[in-house]
Amino acid sequence: MANKFNSGDNRTRRSVSIFIVAGLCCFFYLLGAWQRSGFGKGDSIAVEMTKSGENCNILPNLNFETHHRGEAGIIDDFDSKVKTYNPCHPRYTDYTPCQDQARAMTFPRENMIYRERHCPPQEEKLHCLVPAPNGYVTPFPWPKSRDYVPYANAPYKSLTVEKAIQNWIQYEGNVFRFPGGGTQFPQGADKYIDQLASVIPIENGTVRTALDTGCGVASWGAYLWKRNVVAMSFAPRDSHEAQVQFALERGVPAVIGVLGTIKMPYPSRAFDMAHCSRCLIPWGANGGIYMKEVDRVLRPGGYWVLSGPPINWKTNYKAWQRPREELQEEQRQIEETAKVLCWEKKSENGEIAIWQKKTDANSCRASQENSGATFCKSEDPDDVWYKKMEQCITPYNNANRDKTSSGDLKPFPERLYAVPP
């Protein structure tokens, strides 16, 4: 009897175990099927959306746009094919969109209009890949690129001849060497910057951003890097091939650009210092409109540097081959415009003059109104993309920027964490 009882008990336990295992298998099978179906996954999203009300940014990675659809919303496999472009003819090696030199010469030369951007109509646009120069190689890494560029990357020697005594650029074997010179600083950019630093507090972080108009090969900006100053350089495309290309190959920020009739593509009060080293811009002409544009992008307390003509014209008018009276009038116009803009002249030494934009908005406004100055009425001084320059002064406190207009800006790197709202 005992054996029979034990045998039945074992059979019962075995049946229960099989039932449990089968039940678990069914449960996990159903759970897996449910997870794969995606049913219920939106519940958490719906809860978050309900909690956040109209805030639609809680899941920025969601994209509700349709993709790869043809007519009537039908999936079109042909849309996913990659379009291929053949290389352009080698004669387009130096082609830059909207900066075609041949086309530019058809535009008026007044106010440098012909050197501004002029994009071709749709039917004239290239639909091919602009080729690199023959033998193009990877540029040298910084800091070597500051001083050397492979000749194959920008194979033009005209500047090595025309600017030879000014130490802009030298051709040595298969590379160009940049000694750091410039028209106004043939002894090197370092010594030139030292002269500026005797007046402008470059070393203590007050100056972090700089704008270089008519930059040439951008040696000034290249040598500011080691002083913790970031320079934005620009120059027009002219008879000297690839000036800006040289700057880019060196690793210096630069764009093709010119002060003509269009505002610079930078927000107001973006720069601590602006610079012109014999950039040949008629600063005093046209009612000082170019100085007013520099004033727009220069922060209160910022500095403007002008070296070269007409500074020190009494000594250099013969070397510049220009009449004394013409240079004298040019400087007078610059000085008058600077007063209207509320810039204070801090130094004139040799061929270098330095002005500082005052920080006292109220006193400047009063003096500007007394001079009959016109103030810009635009509510957004940063709305500048392809907008015409204006014969007006950008007010200090425009766009509710009273704190920055007072010059209350921390030196770098404190500025990273203490920018006024």
Measured CA to CA in angstroms, residue 146 lies from 218, 219, 250, 273 at distances of 10, 8, 5, 22
pLDDT at 170: 92
pLDDT at 15: 67
Name the β-bridge partners of 389.
none
CATH no. for 184-417: 3.40.50.150
- Give pLDDT tens digits along the chain (421 positions): 445 445 555 556 666 667 776 777 777 676 665 555 444 444 444 444 444 444 444 445 555 455 555 454 454 555 567 888 899 999 898 888 898 888 888 999 999 999 999 999 999 999 999 999 999 999 999 999 999 999 999 998 888 888 888 888 999 999 999 999 888 898 899 999 999 999 999 999 999 999 999 998 999 999 999 999 999 999 988 765 668 899 999 999 999 999 999 999 999 999 999 999 999 899 999 999 999 999 999 999 999 999 999 999 999 999 899 999 999 999 999 999 999 999 999 999 999 999 999 998 888 988 888 888 899 988 888 999 999 999 999 998 644 444 444 457 789 999 888 766 5
Q: What secondary structure letter does DSSP report for 392?
A: S
Q: With H, G, I as helix, E, B as strand and everything else as coil, classify residue 353.
A: strand
What is the residue whose two structure tokens read 């620009």? 234
pLDDT at 95: 87
Half-sphere exposure of 114 (CA within 13 A, CB side): 12
**Relative orientation angle of helices 324-340 and 289-297, to the nearest 10 degrees:** 40
pLDDT at 59: 46
Domain residue spans of the chain: 90-124, 184-417
CA distance 259 to 217: 17
Q: Mark 394-410 as b/e (b = at least 16 C-beta within 10 Å).
A: bbbebbebeebbbbebe
Pairing between β-strand 170-172 and β-strand 175-177 as defined by DSSP bridges: antiparallel
pLDDT at 420: 60
List the structure tokens of 305.
């540097």
pLDDT at 63: 54
What are the counts of helices (DSSP H) followed by strands (DSSP E) for the chain?
A: 13, 10
pLDDT at 50: 43
